[in-house]
Amino acid sequence: MLKMEPEFIPSRANLLEYIQQPFIEPIRIHPTNYNRYFESKLDSSFLDKFFVSSLNASSRFWSECLIQIPCPPEFGSTEDSFHAFWDALIFKPIKTACPTGIFKRNSNRHTSTKRFRPDFSYLIHHACLTRGEEKGPNSDDNPAVELVSKLTWTYGDCPYIFGYYAHGTMVTYCYLYFEENQVKRKDLATCLLETLDGRIQAFNIGINIGRLLIPLRQTLPDAFVHEFIILHRSSGKTIELLQTSVIKRYYSAGSVEKLKTLYREMENSNVPFIDHLDDTNTTETETPFAIFSPKGVRHKPTSKEQLVKALHCVLTALKSLHEIGIMHRDLRWDNVLKFIDQDKWFIIDFDDACHTPSSTPNTLLARDNHAPDIFQPYHNESVDIWSVGYLIRTVLVEVQELSNYASTTLMAKNHFDRPTAKEILRWLWDNYRGILEKEFLEVQ
């Protein structure tokens, strides 16, 4: 009953009425609990909308979902001391109605990373459709403002997502939407969680929000990029996907310092079609990290036109990189991402990049998808050219002319026989000008 999805998604104008509507049937509560916790404390005109005394009540549902209403967790004066209180009274009802979601709480207090994530997020198939900002009773910060400032709209035509902001025992539910090219917030209802009737109202609102999350998820675009996902790599690096940026945490500060040097050189030379290093941290007391943007989507080209465009983007970047003496050394489709909102691609993950030539073999890379010479004591930027051929060979669409060019020229065994990025770009323009001239400037 509590998990039943609505027949349609309410309009923004009708959303307040929707979230405040009582359950289809009052929830049954055993007479002992009903009399002890509710009947003697609340007016029947209010209580009867939500609960009814019954010997057939579920003791399991009472202990798992309802007991926190009359007996909420205790709290102190700090924000952290309120987490159990907020989780029991705000999050628990939402999850009761929509148990398939994933709950995340932002425990990172570093200012450089905290600003990217809400304090509370509830993800439905990797989409954060409910988010919350929370402050302790002694905080002067405005959680309502943070709800908007931390949100970049990536939800396409989804009519709205839900939010709440809590200040101690007071919580305000709202919805967030995209209009006039900006994120806006509309408050719906405020509940005083220090009171019994306020906690019942919050439970009711949470149930109705949860019932609506799956239908809202179905309105998101097919190309929606997952949010707030953490990936763990064998090297010890972790990758956290935020809304529009990516946080990478490294085993050593030296890895971050190396990236800072490379990205500084690339930025000074305006290298196109690469990601950007937004912030870093290498203090001894915290795990070293780097923040990159934009966040793209893994999308191998699915047509001849897309493949030509992707190759143009990659080669334009390589031309600029090689001119300043930098080679990537790990070009694969995992490291060539598509922009979310356009048919263009960019290169990421410069962890294995270095200056060219290199006298040190890179023995940590996989031999089946990298140039043979990268594992030799001496190699140069031609290993990236080999990898461009590998991109063509591992794409989802077959373009015979490009496949032949990759096998015979780009992936030549002798690195002296491979062309430069500039020469390949010229070849690409000579053969596919009709595709490129609509969106790109011709390389000189």
Over 80: is that where the pLDDT of 2 sits? no
For residue 444, being part of any structural domain is answered with no
CA-based angle 239:242:246, to the nearest 5? 45
3-state secondary structure of 178: strand
Q: Within this chain, do residues 32 and 105 fall inside the same structural domain, yes or no?
A: yes
- For residues 241 and 239, give the distance between their C-alpha atoms in angstroms, rounded to a whole number: 6
CATH of the domain at 387: 1.10.510.10
Burial (CB < 10 A; 0-12, 13-18, 19+), residue 128, is buried
Token digits of residue 34: 């009903």
Over 80: is that where the pLDDT of 268 sits? yes
Task: Give the ranges where 290-420 is alpha helix by DSSP (H).
Answer: 304-323, 382-393, 400-405
| Section 257-279 average pLDDT | 96
For residue 444, what pLDDT is reported? 64
Q: How confident is the model at residue 260 (pLDDT cuts 50, 70, 90)?
A: very high
- Out of 163, 193, 217, a domain closes at 217
Q: Which of 147-161, 167-181, 290-304 has the highest mean pLDDT?
A: 167-181
| Section 376-386 average pLDDT | 93
- Out of 191, 217, 243, a domain closes at 217
Q: Within this chain, do residues 90 and 202 fall inside the same structural domain, yes or no?
A: yes
For residue 298, what pLDDT is reported? 83
Ordered strands of the 161-167 beta sheet: 102-105, 120-124, 127-135, 161-167, 170-179, 182-192
Q: How confident is the model at residue 116 (pLDDT cuts 50, 70, 90)?
A: low
C-beta separation of 301 from 315 below 8 A? no
Token digits of residue 188: 């719906």
Q: Within this chain, do residues 236 and 145 fall inside the same structural domain, yes or no?
A: no
Q: Within this chain, do residues 212 and 288 fall inside the same structural domain, yes or no?
A: no
Q: How confident is the model at residue 72 (pLDDT cuts 50, 70, 90)?
A: very high
DSSP 431-443: HHHHHHTTTSPPP
Q: What number of CA atoms fall less than 13 Å from residue 397's CA on the CB side?
A: 14
Q: Within this chain, do residues 207 and 248 fall inside the same structural domain, yes or no?
A: no
Amino acid at 422: K
For residue 78, being part of any structural domain is answered with yes
Q: Which of 239-253, 259-273, 276-290 has the highest mean pLDDT?
A: 259-273
- For residues 237 and 250, give the distance between their C-alpha atoms in angstroms, rounded to a whole number: 5
In the chain, the number of structural domains is 2
For residue 49, being part of any structural domain is answered with yes
For residue 1, being part of any structural domain is answered with no
For residue 111, what pLDDT is reported? 46
If one counts every other C-beta atom within 10 angstroms of the C-beta of residue 263, the result is 21
- For residues 384 and 411, give the distance between their C-alpha atoms in angstroms, rounded to a whole number: 10
For residue 346, what pLDDT is reported? 97
- Out of 190, 217, 244, a domain closes at 217
For residue 405, being part of any structural domain is answered with yes
- For residues 23 and 205, give the distance between their C-alpha atoms in angstroms, rounded to a whole number: 10
For residue 327, being part of any structural domain is answered with yes
What pLDDT digit, counting tens, does each position of 202-222 carry?
Answer: 999 999 999 999 999 999 877
Token digits of residue 331: 């070009």
Q: Within this chain, do residues 275 and 331 fall inside the same structural domain, yes or no?
A: yes
Enclosing domain of residue 327: 230-436
| 234 vs 266, higher pLDDT | 266
For residue 419, say if its preceding peptide bond is cis, omega within 30 degrees of 0.
no
Q: How many helices, marked H, and strands, marked E, lie in the chain?
A: 14, 17
- For residues 181 and 162, give the distance between their C-alpha atoms in angstroms, rounded to a whole number: 19
For residue 429, being part of any structural domain is answered with yes
Over 90: is that where the pLDDT of 197 sits? yes
- For residues 59 and 37, give the distance between their C-alpha atoms in angstroms, rounded to a whole number: 15
Cα of 433 vs its chain's centroid, Å: 36
The percentage of the chain sitting over the pLDDT mark of 90, rounded to a whole number, equals: 68
The percentage of the chain sitting over the pLDDT mark of 70, rounded to a whole number, equals: 96
Q: Within this chain, do residues 296 and 402 fall inside the same structural domain, yes or no?
A: yes
If one counts every other C-beta atom within 10 angstroms of the C-beta of residue 159, the result is 15
- For residues 152 and 178, give the distance between their C-alpha atoms in angstroms, rounded to a whole number: 9
| Section 71-88 average pLDDT | 93
- For residues 310 and 339, give the distance between their C-alpha atoms in angstroms, rounded to a whole number: 11
| Section 19-48 average pLDDT | 92
| 87 vs 231, higher pLDDT | 87
| Section 282-294 average pLDDT | 87
For residue 411, being part of any structural domain is answered with yes
Q: Taking all residues of the chain, what is their mean pLDDT, rounded to a whole number?
A: 90
Tell me, yes or no, if the pTM score tops 0.85: no
